[in-house]
């Protein structure tokens, strides 16, 4: 969500009221005002403008305010996931007649406040400002949450995704590919003779080498759904959803070449340059097998790449 102006939506079936309220809210210079004439139009506008605050007249020509707010809250809960905080959108009801029972029902259904019609401009503006104060805090919390999530899934040294991200993504992609009947490939990557690199050039140079390799591996991936993470130490792992073994071999080969193209001097390395070995595994996820088996297969391939001479990929 862009952290620009607040988006306000006024839902009222009376032209005159809609215009009146819209003009009043137009005085707020940090807000854009949108108008909807009924519940159907409101639902469409909500999807496109993602309002920060909604004002709803109780008596709409195609529905009533309580039903509409239930519909809105229902959709909000459908959009939520563990990854993302659903933004709570405050709803203020407008009504000429108002009794305790209606107020209670409106709040229980998911509304936040009531405004008596005819609407007093000062009260309307005061209530909208109060709600927007909370919306502003909500935006800050949301941004902090996203930032924390990012930190929690990034490797501190190389700034690429970390092991936590890898584990979560592998589990998610396993299920996704199983549902889609699509192949899933995994590439395990291990830096060759890295202990000797550290011994020869020092641990700090070793860190710089890992950073450069992480960038080269990342830049070798072209599809948005592909990812490479630091698996641990001098090991990396790439997840390639929807990619079969041939595709994965091509990607591994591209990654291998890109590490070599860094031309990092390594006196004990192959042709005196740093390199990596790549272990590939591919399968179509099903209920008989697990992501653990895919990892084991990739690990076995990596072992073969090491024993086959390093600076190579094996399937
Ligand atoms: P091989 O070709 O068989 O993989 O040999 P290797 O020397 O790379 O393998 P080994 O597992 O013996 O050594 C891995 C080395 O990676 C040892 C460890 O100190 C180093 N290493 C792991 N993480 C880091 C790191 O974050 N920074 C640095 N500089 N070195 C690291
Ligand atoms: Mg290793
Ligand atoms: Mg090793
Ligand atoms: Mg190694």
Successive 10-residue mean pLDDT values, the chain, 315 residues: 81 96 95 97 94 96 96 78 66 94 95 94 96 93 91 96 97 97 98 98 98 98 97 98 98 98 97 98 96 98 98 98
Contact 6, 125 (CB under 8 A): no
Which has the closest alpha carbon to 27: 146, 124, 94? 124
- pLDDT given at position 1: 42
Q: What are phi and psi of 12, to 5 degrees?
A: -155, 135
Q: Which of 234, 264, 268 has most ligand 1 atoms within 8 Å of CB, for mutation?
A: 234
Is there an atom of ligand 1 within 6 Å of 114 CB?
no
CA 147, 153, 159 angle in degrees (round to 5)? Answer: 90
Is there an atom of ligand 1 within 6 Å of 206 CB?
yes
Separation of alpha carbons 213 and 236, rounded Å? 10
Separation of alpha carbons 71 and 290, rounded Å? 39
Query: What interhelical angle do 100-109 and 65-78 show, nearest 10?
Result: 20
Is there an atom of ligand 1 within 6 Å of 269 CB?
no
Q: Which of 195, 200, 201, 256 has most ligand 1 atoms within 8 Å of CB, for mutation?
A: 195
Distances (CA, A) of 267 to 106, 175, 194, 260, 305: 74, 44, 11, 14, 21
Residue 241 CA, ligand 4 centroid: distance in Å: 25
Separation of alpha carbons 26 and 37, rounded Å? 18
Which has the closest alpha carbon to 42: 26, 53, 28? 53
Residue 306 CA, ligand 4 centroid: distance in Å: 9
Contact 258, 213 (CB under 8 A): no
Nearest residue (by CA) to ligand 1, atom 4, is: 192
Is there an atom of ligand 1 within 6 Å of 155 CB?
no
Is there an atom of ligand 1 within 6 Å of 193 CB?
yes
Nearest residue (by CA) to ligand 1, atom 30, is: 206
- pLDDT given at position 84: 54
Which strand (E) or helix (H) includes residue 113? strand 113-116
Is there an atom of ligand 1 within 6 Å of 233 CB?
yes
Residue 252 CA, ligand 2 centroid: distance in Å: 17
Residue 28 CA, ligand 1 centroid: distance in Å: 60
CA 57, 93, 71 angle in degrees (round to 5)? Answer: 80
Assess: ipTM above 0.85: yes
- pLDDT given at position 4: 85
Write down the pTM of the prediction.
0.73
Peptide bond into 118 cis (omega under 30): yes
Ligand 1 atom at minimal distance to the Cα of residue 197:
7
Q: Which of 188, 198, 230 has most ligand 1 atoms within 8 Å of CB, for mutation?
A: 198
- pLDDT given at position 51: 95
């Amino acid at each position: 969500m862009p952290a620009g102006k607040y988006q306000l939506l006024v839902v009222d079936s009376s032209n005159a009221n809609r215009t009146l309220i819209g003009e009043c809210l137009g005085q707020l210079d940090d807000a854009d005002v949108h108008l909807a004439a009924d519940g159907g139009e409101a639902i469409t506008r909500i999807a496109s403008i993602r309002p920060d605050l909604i004002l709803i007249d109780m008596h709409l020509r195609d529905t009533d305010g309580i039903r509409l707010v239930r519909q809105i809250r229902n959709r909000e809960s459908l959009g939520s996931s563990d990854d993302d905080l659903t933004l709570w959108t405050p709803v203020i009801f407008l009504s000429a007649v108002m009794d305790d029972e209606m107020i209670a029902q409106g709040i229980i259904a998911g509304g936040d406040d009531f405004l008596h019609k005819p609407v007093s401009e000062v009260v309307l503006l005061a209530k909208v400002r109060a709600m927007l104060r909370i919306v502003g805090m909500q935006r800050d919390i949301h941004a902090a949450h996203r930032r924390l999530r990012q930190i929690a899934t990034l490797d501190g040294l190389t700034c690429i995704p970390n092991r936590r991200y890898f584990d979560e993504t592998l589990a998610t992609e396993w299920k996704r590919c199983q549902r889609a009947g699509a192949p899933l490939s995994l590439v395990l990557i291990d830096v060759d003779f890295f202990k000797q690199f550290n011994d020869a050039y020092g641990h700090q140079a070793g860190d710089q080498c890992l950073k450069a390799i992480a960038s080269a591996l990342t830049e070798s991936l072209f599809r948005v759904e592909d990812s490479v993470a630091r698996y641990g130490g001098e090991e990396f792992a790439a997840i390639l959803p929807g990619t079969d073994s041939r595709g994965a071999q091509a990607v591994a080969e591209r990654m291998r070449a890109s590490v070599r193209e860094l031309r990092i001097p390594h006196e004990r390395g192959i042709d005196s340059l740093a390199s990596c070995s790549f272990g590939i595994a591919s399968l179509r996820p099903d209920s008989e097998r697990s992501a653990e088996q895919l990892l084991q297969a990739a690990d076995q391939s990596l072992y073969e790449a090491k024993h086959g001479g390093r600076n190579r990929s094996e399937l």
